[in-house]
Structure 1
Amino acid sequence: MKRNLSLRMSFLGIMAMVASVTASCNEDVVFDPKLPRCEVPEMPSYESLPSIEKLPDPFKFMDGSRVDSRRDWECRRAEIAALAQEFQYGYKPSTPSSATTGSVNGDTLTVKVNQNGASISFNCTITYPTTGRKPYPAVIGIGASNLNNAALLNMGVAIINFPNNRIAEQLNGSSRGKGLFYEVFGSDHSASATMAWAWGVSRVIDALEKMPRANIDARKLGVTGCSRNGKGALVVGAFDERIKLTIPQEPGAGGAASWRISDAQKEAGKNVQTLSQITGENVWFREDFSRFSNTSDKLPFDQHSVMALVAPRALLVIENTSIDWLSPQSSWTTAHAAHKVWQALGVPDNMGFSQVGDHWHCLLPESQLPELTAYVDKFLIGRGTGNTAIMKTDGGFATNEQEWIDWTVPTLK
């Protein structure tokens, strides 16, 4: 295996390894010089991308060789992270921790960032539990948390509301380049709204790490968001390894649903959101992602690969079978494809998928509360022994693995 691997390779920051990427545009990428690197090839052009009808193999390097160890997986993660930024999300800029400061006044956390000659600040509200121990683990809600917040607080978990619309607007297609992120990096920066939010959450974590008086344990952080904000929560968890638990709730297209499978569902007459529709609706993806509107088969990855960027950390995807627009069949099959990465790493119980209908959008039903509490208890609080081996749907869907998966799952040592 021809890989430039440090002897000290372990599950470290994805973006640290992406630092050696030679991208086709001159964007900053995150790099912590204390961490080892992987060689990431130059990004291909859109024109050179081949058609891949089935879900791309997450264990196949860009040079065609296969992942056969955990150290290999780290480098493959770096490749997927680079490809996802190059073609779908835009690049997450590098911001040193020293550029961020924070202060807390009651339940308000103020985050200040000074970079590129610009100075911005924004406030996050914190709801503290009345049980548990300080410093508290916390769930960061993109926009807000639509989980069962009372249950989280009763478990001793704080809830931090992140003002994502201030960081990057998402009113409609005219919102591109608007928000505090673009005041720092320019309105023409490649970062989509979701990647800008990921940058903003990383600054929140920087601030919390410096402020013990905030009574938040920055080593025990989760992230969530619902619908459009669920798409953002996935990006946050994928691109900052300080997030221990990622819970995208009903993210649908661009979250849990595969672009390829959703296109097939649309052709079969299902009323599902597709890539061609979503790129004209809002700014959740980079501007030139629309190139794939009628060619999703040219993407060198799909949402199963994006979810796998979280591995081996914890991921719980919460979906809804009653809303066709979310493409529940697509999400079910995509989740099974993503889960194979956790299986290969020997930690299958670190990734779960729960899909239950007969409730309003973004309203967590009682039937999904057990898996939420099991994941929070185990991966945020650190005391749980509950069942996190969860792959369930009430939709009666087949997994369609033969139709969409033509690759094998290695055992990574």
Structure 2
Amino acid sequence: MIISSGRSRIRSSVVLLAVAALAVTGAVTVVTQTTTAQAAADNLVAAAAVEDEGADCPVPGAVSLTANSRLPDPFRKVNGTRISAKSEWRCRRAEIKELAERYVYGDKPRKPASVTGTVSSTSITVNVTDNGRSSSFSAGVQLPSGSGPFPAVVVLGGLGADTATIRAAGAAIISYDPLAVGREGTPRNNKQGAFYSVYGASSSTGLLAAWAWGVSRIIDVLEQSGGNILRADATGVTGCSRYGKGAFAVGVFDQRIALTMPIESGSAGAPIFRGIAGESGAQPLSSAYGEQPWLGDAFSSFTGNPNTLPVDTHEMVAMVAPRGLFIMENPHIDWLAARSGSVAALGGAEVYKALGAGENITYWSDVQDGTHCASRTEWRTPLQQNIQKFLLKTGNAPGAIRISSRKAGNLADWRDWQTPTLSDGPTTPPTTPPNTPPPTTPPPTTPPPTTPPPTGGGCSASMSINQWTGGFVATVRVTAGSSPVNGWTVSVPLPSGASVTNAWNVNRSGNTGTVQFTNVSYNGSLAAGQSTEFGFQGTGTGAGLTPTCSSG
């Protein structure tokens, strides 16, 4: 059954004009050179003018959840027919979006009844009212040198692509705390944060969709600000680890994002759900679902049998097309499921190619350093090129697929469909002009802390554990008290038989017994109430670990 959503018809002609102009690239396993015509066409591929271009498309009703070990055909509509024109992708994408929300992420609500806020050179404030409920949150801003208005990259949780490289390339940084919008460490029936203050603590929507909703509201405020400081039409997003999962969801669900850059996102991020169970050492879906309420509540039915899902993450990759996408993965930590991630990228790249935008996707897992969420030299040049191409509109470097031999997936093992040659379809001009509300009032120079600080000075530490048979991964959050902290040490007494094998974003002393973790150069200074995170992997059991923090 197909039902109409009854949503307003809004269409951006820019994207389809660009898609029609682009030529289909060849094999994605090598870096290809772009022609002058292709370069000009690439510069036309821009973010959409609206959050969801397919809001007026019919969405599927009940669908059959038939087991299929192969990846679903991204070109096959729910009614069984395959798309044959590029213009049909808009509504096919809307079908995938509906299924992804229904079975994986939970519903990401449309723009609320009221979104207001302020933008300055140091901060953004967001105020939301919907369904008679209100909430607020804020984000920090760091501008590059030069004169604006600037494109900007939203960095989730302070972990993402190298911010120094981003600013040097000419883009601003928007520091977004996802936990202010959807807090971790909460039960599924009592979720907390700005999103759940509006849509209810028992909402079935997972944290990733809630985090994506928060970034969409930031873009709403950027649009209202008039673009004097930051350009709403040139926004990117990045995050690593759990925030890589979030960055991926942000780009998937908001077509105004011009460049999506998830890093080492692991299970519940880019890697295909169907591949994770068979990838040795990868975080099981049940673990990813249970660790935090990242995924929607409905996903619980699929943790043990993802083959019955009517969608998979290669289709989420495809939902970003033809916009810029740069997926970065780490093949050195089994937990991160990089082999399944490479399959997702290869599958999604088939849609990019069919749309004539094959040069707009980059996947890179061919790295030497195995440290989690490290700033890698291999990624610096493609990062600069993607910012220039999709945010600054000054470059035309082609994308590349660089898959490490350590974790190389084979798309042929996962699909029983072929990529069609899509004809150029007609375009429809937009029916609604862009929103240009009057400028907002200046915000306070220092946004309030988004999480309550410890009651005294010094620092505190909290920990979440991912345990599996024979090993675990720990994520530690360090929070300054009522006074700034300049340097910190976290002590973790390990039980007998447990040993630390790897750590990231931190220095460590020892591997067994009481292990001391000290800050690295970039995360030792914390303002009052500010937090940072580090992680470590170990053998044995991590149950019952109690970290303590000291400052100075």
Residues 9 and 216 of structure 1: CA distance in aligned 2, closer, same or farther (over 3 Å): closer
Q: Which amino acid aligns with 1:39?
A: P
Counterpart selection for 1:408 from 397, 411, 418: 418
> d(CA) in 2 for partners of 1:296 and 1:11?
36
Task: Determine whether 1:136 maps to 2:150.
Answer: yes
1:155 alignment partner in structure 2: 169
Task: Determine whether 1:328 maps to 2:332.
Answer: no
Counterpart selection for 1:121 from 136, 140, 148: 136
The alpha carbon displacement at 1:179 in A equals 1.0
Q: How does 1:76-225 map to 2 (within 5 A)?
A: 76-96=92-112, 99-131=114-146, 133-171=147-185, 173=187, 177-212=191-226, 215-225=229-239
Residues 279 and 35 of structure 1: CA distance in aligned 2, closer, same or farther (over 3 Å): closer
Task: Determine whether 1:69 maps to 2:79.
Answer: no
> Would you say the 8 A contact 1:10–1:74 is kept in 2?
no
Residues 220 and 41 of structure 1: CA distance in aligned 2, closer, same or farther (over 3 Å): same
Task: Determine whether 1:308 maps to 2:318.
Answer: yes
The alpha carbon displacement at 1:234 in A equals 1.1
Q: Secondary structure in 2 aligned to 1:205?
A: helix
| Runs of 4+ in structure 1 over 6 Å off | 6-9, 31-36
> Would you say the 8 A contact 1:11–1:74 is kept in 2?
no
The alpha carbon displacement at 1:127 in A equals 0.6
The alpha carbon displacement at 1:194 in A equals 0.7
Q: Which amino acid aligns with 2:193?
A: G
> d(CA) in 1 for partners of 2:128 and 2:242?
25
2:372 alignment partner in structure 1: 361
Scaled by the length of structure 2, the TM-score of the pair is 0.66
The alpha carbon displacement at 1:198 in A equals 1.1
The alpha carbon displacement at 1:178 in A equals 1.0
1:28 alignment partner in structure 2: none
> Would you say the 8 A contact 1:9–1:36 is kept in 2?
no
> Would you say the 8 A contact 1:8–1:36 is kept in 2?
no
> Would you say the 8 A contact 2:121–2:229 is kept in 1?
no
1:380 alignment partner in structure 2: 391
The alpha carbon displacement at 1:106 in A equals 4.8
> d(CA) in 2 for partners of 1:109 and 1:152?
19
The alpha carbon displacement at 1:177 in A equals 1.6
The alpha carbon displacement at 1:384 in A equals 0.7
Identity %: 37
What's the C-alpha RMSD, in Å, of the aligned pairs? Answer: 2.5
> Would you say the 8 A contact 2:54–2:93 is kept in 1?
no
Q: Secondary structure in 1 aligned to 2:96?
A: helix
> Would you say the 8 A contact 2:331–2:370 is kept in 1?
no
Q: How does 1:233-382 map to 2 (within 5 A)?
A: 233-265=247-279, 270-355=280-365, 356-382=367-393
Residues 105 and 158 of structure 1: CA distance in aligned 2, closer, same or farther (over 3 Å): closer
More strand by share: 2
Q: Which amino acid aligns with 1:226?
A: C
Counterpart selection for 2:67 from 38, 48, 51: 51
The alpha carbon displacement at 1:391 in A equals 0.3
Aligned residue pairs: how many? 384
Unmatched runs of 5 consecutive residues or more in structure 1: 14-30
The alpha carbon displacement at 1:34 in A equals 9.6
> Would you say the 8 A contact 1:220–1:380 is kept in 2?
yes
Q: Secondary structure in 1 aligned to 2:65?
A: coil
> Would you say the 8 A contact 1:172–1:281 is kept in 2?
no
1:24 alignment partner in structure 2: none
The alpha carbon displacement at 1:169 in A equals 0.7
> d(CA) in 1 for partners of 2:198 and 2:344?
36
Q: Which amino acid aligns with 2:302?
A: F
Task: Determine whether 1:39 maps to 2:53.
Answer: no
Q: Secondary structure in 2 aligned to 1:264?
A: coil
Q: Which amino acid aligns with 1:94?
A: R
Residues 3 and 357 of structure 1: CA distance in aligned 2, closer, same or farther (over 3 Å): farther
> Would you say the 8 A contact 1:9–1:71 is kept in 2?
no
> d(CA) in 2 for partners of 1:3 and 1:117?
28
> d(CA) in 2 for partners of 1:230 and 1:335?
15
1:26 alignment partner in structure 2: none
Residues 36 and 179 of structure 1: CA distance in aligned 2, closer, same or farther (over 3 Å): closer
> d(CA) in 2 for partners of 1:56 and 1:410?
15
Whichever of the two has the greater Rg, that structure is: 2
> d(CA) in 1 for partners of 2:278 and 2:347?
16
1:27 alignment partner in structure 2: none
Unmatched runs of 5 consecutive residues or more in structure 2: 17-49, 424-552
Q: Secondary structure in 1 aligned to 2:110?
A: coil
> Would you say the 8 A contact 1:92–1:195 is kept in 2?
yes
Q: Which amino acid aligns with 2:60?
A: P
